[in-house]
Amino acid sequence: MANGDVDVVVIGGGAAGIAATRRLQEAGVRCRLIEARARLGGRAFTATCGGYPLDLGCGWLHSADRNPWVAIAESQGRTLDKTPPPWAEKPSLPHGFPIEEQEQFIDALNAFFDRVRASGNGPDRPASELLEPGCRWNGLIGAINTYISGVELPLVSAHDLNNYGATNVNWRIVEGYGATIVAHGAELPVTLECAARVIDHSGTRLRIETERGTLAADQVIITVPTDLLADETLRFAPALPAKIEAARGLPLGLADKLFIALRHAEEFPKDSRVFGRTDRVETGAYHLRPFGRPMIEAYLGGRNAACLEAGGDNAFFDFAVGELTGIFGNAFAKRLTPLRIHRWGQDPFARGSYSSALPDHAGDRAKLAAPVDNRLFFAGEACSPHDFSTAHGAYLTGLSAAEAVLAARAT
């Protein structure tokens, strides 16, 4: 690195790190963003495949009516698609799931979330305890939570699930959410392929040891995923056991997306959906013709995604084909061709998709976000009390961390 002495180092080039670095740069602070990957974006990743930009990480502008990435996308000249998502305002396709049964399922799902909201007034518990015993839809409710939280309901804090603050306005960016986030980081002082290993905060100035040398700084903003803090891939000297424990209470779950090319896709309505199964947790949700494109966007989460990751990319496609032919018949397999997947659990710089608080650990988000000695600051989706698991939650925590750094530097 050309300049190893700066005012502030930001570790992690995802939405939070980009937001923080941009704010610091605007304030005239000498800063440097370091990123372990060879690209910016973190868990936001748009890849071009089959002639289309595919969001392999975050893809939806959740809470779009208050999501700061909307204005950023518009400033970049991006195209916003405001088509309602396939889980809202319309039923799934009736193939293998009659409309009458869908209505029963929606009633059961809404009743479950009503119990989640009511549980906020009592002691925390695993969200699975709020399922109606013996309800025929518990498997599918659990499957949907693996897409929402990345893990099964017994591993989810009911209080944390209740704390999520969605407005239920969900849009997409035609050119890619990941591409938008990366573009927002253009022209920032960035060093790629530079994994941080140790933050030594024992002296007057911080020393950040990386694979490409050591940086000195007054403050550091840490935005790496919780699993990398929990297993001390990034270490602190002296150690910060409270931070490690908070990170362990907020492990990353898995929600992987497989894109499949679909021949004769016009048979299906644009932005429609089917479930692989309706009677178990280990199933996929299949978004047909996203943006009207001739493809399927398959969502697979939790333990099911973890097992498939162990089998490689082909395991995802084989699983999806098995479920889709179970719905549409064996001949449907000839219409399917795998396009792309990114196995986030196997990604060494992510090790998962997004955080979910374990039961009795909802308070760990605030513990993780709390600064240390006005020198070490933390940001990222796991630090957000109400917008966790989202790119806008990460963005807002990055801005907050940068503002806290500026306030500390002004004293």
pLDDT of residue 88: 78
Distance CA 291, CA 298 (A): 14
More confident residue, 242 or 91: 242
Q: Which amino acid is at 187?
A: E
Give the DSSP per-residue string, 198-224.
EEE-SSSSEEEEETTEEEEESEEEE--
Write the CB contacts of 62 (distance below 8 Å, at least 6 apart in sequence): 166, 170, 387, 390, 392
pLDDT number for residue 91? 86
Across the strands, what pairs with 206? Answer: 217
Residue 2 has pLDDT above 60, yes or no: no
Given this model, what pLDDT does residue 244 score?
A: 98
Cα-to-chain-centroid distance, residue 275: 21
Of the listed ranges 81-95, 153-167, 221-235, the least confidently predicted one is 81-95
Lowest mean pLDDT among 79-88, 89-98, 141-150, 162-171: 89-98
Q: How big, in percent rounded to 5, are the helix, strand and coil portions of the chain?
A: 40, 20, 40
Confidence of residue 3 (pLDDT cuts 50, 70, 90): low
**Residues 116-135: what's their mean pLDDT?**
96
pTM > 0.95: yes
Closest CA to 129 of 102, 152, 106: 152
Comparing C-alpha atoms, which of 353, 352, 384 is closest to residue 369? 384
Q: For residue 183, which of 78, 81, 38, 62 has the smallest C-alpha distance?
A: 78
The reported pLDDT for the residue numbered 147 is 97
- With the C-alpha atoms ordered 291, 293, 296, 299, is the resulting torsion angle positive or negative? negative
Confidence (pLDDT) at 89: 65
| Chain segment 356-396, per-residue pLDDT in tens | 999 999 999 999 999 999 999 999 999 999 999 999 999 99
What integer is the mean pLDDT of 238-248? 98
pLDDT at 90: 74
Structure tokens at 214: 């050591």
* Of the candidate ranges 39-43, 84-88, 148-152, the one whose mean pLDDT is the lowest: 84-88
Region 195-204 average pLDDT? 98
pLDDT, one tens digit per residue, over 313-352 is: 999 999 999 999 999 999 999 999 999 999 999 999 999 9
- Residue 365 tokens, joined: 């988000």
Q: Give CA–CA dist 240/198, Å, rounded.
A: 12
Instruction: Please tell me the predicted confidence (pLDDT) of residue 207.
Output: 97
Ranges assigned E (strand) in 70-212: 80-81, 172-173, 190-191, 196-200, 206-210
pLDDT of residue 247: 98
Average pLDDT across the chain, whole number = 97
